[in-house]
Structures are given as structure tokens and as C-alpha cells.
Amino acid sequence: MASAILASLLHPSEVLALVQYKLAPKTKYDYSNNKTRERLYHHLNMTSRSFAAVIQDLDDELKDAICLFYLVLRGLDTIEDDMTIDLEIKLPYLKTFHEIIYQKGWNFTENGPNEKDRQLLVEFDTVIEGFLELKPAYQTIIADITKRMGNGMAHYATAGINVVTNADYDEYCHYVAGLVGLGLSEMFTASGFESPMVAERKDLSNSMGLFLQKTNITRDFLEDLRDNRRFWPEEIWGKYVDEIKDLTEPENKEKALQCLSHMVVNAMAHIRDVLEYLSMIKNKSCFKFCAIPQVMAIATLNLLHTNYMIYTHENVKIRKGETVWLMKESSNVDSVAAIFRLYARQINNKSNPLDPHFVDIGVICGEIEQICVSKYPGSTAELHRLQAGVMAGTSGNVLTAAAVVAGAIALKNVIA
Ligand code: D9A
């Protein structure tokens, strides 16, 4: 916590968000009356801390169903991910996982000891128990997506993940992320919180997953290269180097940065769909659940853009304070549009005019601005409010800076 405050010292709105987050009541949810639910939410909180909070803020009708969807997918992923499991053993699990989730008492202890979500599969009988308590409509949606994703994963596990063209890249991301968007949209519609249109617009639901997944794939380049996973399409990196690993060679720095902008443009192409999707979501808790990962993705792209660090360091991540600030500010569509405008402007400002994608990036950033101004006129006032907070620490005003430092030190002492 203290180091998170330190990292956000020049961003007072983040310091405020961090302190509010820290002081917020911790035991907001009490699952002690139900052993299964207690274990399920324990697993959820173990796998993903900030996202778990967003799931737990969903309205009761959807909360358990989406928690279980998340845990089922995480279980499937943990089998797919484990390179210590032989292919002939792995494939049947991937292909039948949609049936396994109906088998009371099933669990899986074959993961290697270093697999981070190993315990989830050791106790998977709890997930199955929770799954079987869901309304049949939610069970069917989860099983259908699990079936399609498991078969997609089995295909890539057999053939090897070979992402050549941009179409291959979109297809791979569809299986591992786009399908999640489709399933969630069906659940929103099935709950009655959202109109049938949300489930019908599969193109937009798919883009919700692709924007998140492509941002992660761009960020995790070095880690994936180290683990022998190559997700960047050859149609992109092949324009800059002969072999993908050459991107990390210092003498290729300029080419590597051009390739990075290419990956950023490719991901940003989904933002118009993301904004359109979010404009359909009426339920407040569904809206926050959908919007928070997306604003985190554009904040991450802003951090990655023109940042050579992605080729030299494995953990390029936005500040904890930035995450908490984004979660706090993503409560309505005007604020979310303002956040997109804020980061689009920062991305555009950082662009190098000598980069081959300078104009493409400018066009997409301009388009984001245009869509937001016309669809969400309220975002302009929100943008000014956000900018006042973001800029306060970097305005060069000595008094402001001194006040910020003094305030942060005082707060740090209160918390420590
Ligand atoms: C999501 Cl049920 C994901 N994925 C995410 C998280 O958001 C999406 C996995 C399972 C579920 C949902 C998500 C959230 C809301 C609406 C969505 C949606 O569609 C309409 O999915 C498209 O990343 C994983 C995939 C991208 C593969 C789908 C957000 C999340 N964030 C991480 C942060 C990180 O860096 O990974 O998990 C976290 O908070 O730990």
C-alpha cells in the first residue's frame, strides 16, 4: 500500500482513490452461512483480486452465475496452460470439459506443482456443486461456451498455435476471449437486465473480448516469448524483422517500436465496437462490470505505446493507483467516454511522427473523440473534471506539488 501511494505521488487523484479504497469496509460480503459459496468466492478472490471485486458488485441475479462462469473458464484454462501434462491426456479433458462440469464430485490433481490455479482444480467439485445450483438457462450458456472454447483450445494444442495472418490472430482471440463476451451477453439478456439486442450483437460482444485479449498479448510479448508462446501475427512482425525473437535485439530497436505501434493500432481498431457495446448496457452493475476491464485496457495501451520496456521487462503494468482510480471513475457512460478520450489524447500525443502508423493512430484517436462527443456530450465536462485531477501533480505548480507530497506522506503514516 505504501509503495502504491509512493508510485502515485504525482497523481493526487490516484492517492485519493487508493486511500478511499484502503479505508472502504473490507467485509462487504458475508458468505459464512454457506460453505460452498464461501469456497467459490475464496477461489475467485485468489485468482483475480480487482476483477473479483467487480464481479461481487454485480446484482444478485447474475453474481453467482458470472462467478461460476469465470471459475469454470479458469479451470479449463489451467488444464490448457499446463505444459507438464501430455497432449494425449490433455486433449480429452479440453474436449469434454463441458460435460465434466455436470459430474458431481469431479476434481483434478494432475497439474504440476507450479501451476498457479492448481488448487482450484483440486477442489473443482465445489465449482461443480455451485454450477449445478444455477438456473438451467445459465448452465446451458456456460456449458455451450465451454464446449466451443475447449474444442478451439484442443485444435490449437494439436496444431500448435501458429498465428500467421491477422485473420488467424482474430480467430485465436475469438476462441479464448471473444466467446467469453458472447456468453456474458447471453447471460445479461437471459437475466432480463438487458435487451435481447445485447445477445444478438455477437460482433460487438466478440470485440469486447478481442480488445482485452489483444492488449494482454501486446503487453506480455516478452513473457510469452520466454515460455515459447507466439501470439503476435507474422503478418505484422514479419514487416519489421526476419524472426520474431529479433524484436528484442537492441540493434532492431526502431523496427521493434514500429512493430509495437502496429500491434497497438490493431488492438485499437476494436474500440469503436467497445463504445457501441457499452452504450447498450443499461443495468448499472453490468455496466461497471463491462466497462472497468475496457478502461484498464486502454490505460494499458497508453502505457505500452512507444514504450520500449515491453521488449526488456516482463512486468509492464499500470500503477495500482491508476487501476483503483479507473474503478472509482467508471460508474457511468459519460465518465467512461471521458476516460477513453483522455487516454486517446495521451496516446496520440506520444506518437512519433516518423512512425509508419502515426496517421493511423491519429485517425483512430480522432474517431474515439468524435464518437464520444456526439454520443455522450456529457463526457466533455467529465473530461475536464478528470483532467484537473490528473494534472494537479504534474502542473509544475510548486505549491500544489508540495501540498501533494505533504498530504501523501501524512496519509502514508496514517495507513502504515
Ligand atoms: C472476462 Cl467471465 C474475462 N477476462 C478478462 C476480464 O474481463 C472479461 C474472463 C472471464 C470473464 C470475463 C470481461 C468482463 C466484462 C465483460 C466482458 C468480458 O465481455 C462482455 O469479457 C470479454 O480479462 C479474460 C478474457 C479477456 C480472456 C476474456 C478482466 C480481468 N482482468 C484482470 C486483469 C489482467 O491484467 O488480466 O480478468 C484482473 O483483474 O485480474
* Atom 36 of ligand 1, residue of closest alpha carbon: 216
Residue in 296, 286, 292 with CA at minimum distance from that of residue 65? 286
The residue with cell 463504445 is 275
pLDDT tens by residue, 123-160: 999 999 999 999 999 999 999 999 999 999 999 988 77
pLDDT in tens, 167-191: 999 999 999 999 999 999 999 999 9
Asked if the structure places residue 83 within a domain, the reply is yes
161 — pLDDT class (breaks 50, 70, 90): confident
- Ligand 1 centroid–CA 242 distance in Å is 33
Nearest protein CA to atom 35 of ligand 1, as residue = 216
Q: Which residue's CA is the closest to the ligand 1 atom numbered 1?
A: 180
What pTM value is reported for the model? 0.93
Verify whether ligand 1 is closer than 6 Å to residue 212 (CB atom). Answer: yes
Task: Check whether 303 has a pLDDT greater than 80.
Answer: yes
pLDDT of residue 209: 98
The residues near 223 (Cβ < 8 Å, ≥ 6 apart) are 314
Which cell goes with 404? 501533494
Which of 146, 170, 180 for mutating ligand 1's site (highest number of atoms within 8 Å of CB)?
180
Cα of 396 vs centre of ligand 1, distance in Å, is 37
pLDDT at 355: 97
184 lines ligand 1 (CB under 6 A): yes
Q: Which residues are catalytic?
A: 172, 219, 229, 289
Tell me whether residue 372 is in a domain. Answer: no
Distance between CA atoms of residues 303 and 323, nearest Å = 13
Mean pLDDT score of the chain: 93
Asked if residue 338 is part of any domain, the answer here is no
Judge whether 221 lies within some domain: no
Q: 398: pLDDT confidence band, cut at 50, 70 and 90? A: low
Confidence of residue 391 (pLDDT cuts 50, 70, 90): low
Q: For ligand 1, is residue 45 a contact (CB within 6 Å)?
A: no
On whether residue 208 sits in a domain, the answer given is no
CA distance 338 to 383: 5
Q: Residue 65's domain is classified under what CATH number?
A: 1.10.600.10
What is d(CA 48, CA 28) in angstroms, rounded to the nearest whole number?
A: 17
The residue-averaged pLDDT of 387-410 equals: 66
CA of 364 to the centre of ligand 1 (A): 23
Q: Tell me whether residue 371 is in a domain.
A: no
Residue 296 CA, closest ligand 1 atom number? 33
62 lines ligand 1 (CB under 6 A): no
Measure the CA angle with vertex 316, ends 315 and 317; round to 5°: 100
- How far is the C-alpha of 336 from the C-alpha of 382, rounded, in Å? 9
Q: Are 231 and 266 in contact (CB under 8 A)?
A: no
Does the Cβ of 47 fall within 6 Å of ligand 1?
no
For ligand 1, the distance from its centroid to the CA atom of residue 145, given in whole angstroms, is 15
| pLDDT class of 27 with cuts at 50, 70, 90 | low
Distance 102 CA to ligand 1 centre (A): 24
CB half-sphere exposure, 370, CA atoms < 13 A: 7
- Total domains in the chain come to 1
Contact 115, 82 (CB under 8 A): yes
Q: What is the pLDDT of residue 401?
A: 65
Q: How far apart (Å, rounded) are the C-alpha atoms in residues 191 and 100?
A: 25
Q: What pLDDT score was predicted for residue 402?
A: 65
Residue at 176 is within a domain? no
In a domain, 388, yes or no: no
Range(s) of the domain holding residue 107: 32-158
Most distant CA pair in the chain: distance in Å?
A: 66
Minimum CA distance residue for ligand 1 atom 32? 51
CA nearest 273: which of 165, 181, 148? Answer: 181
List, for residues 350-377, the tens digit of each pLDDT value. 999 999 999 999 999 999 999 999 999 9
pLDDT for 333 beyond 60: yes
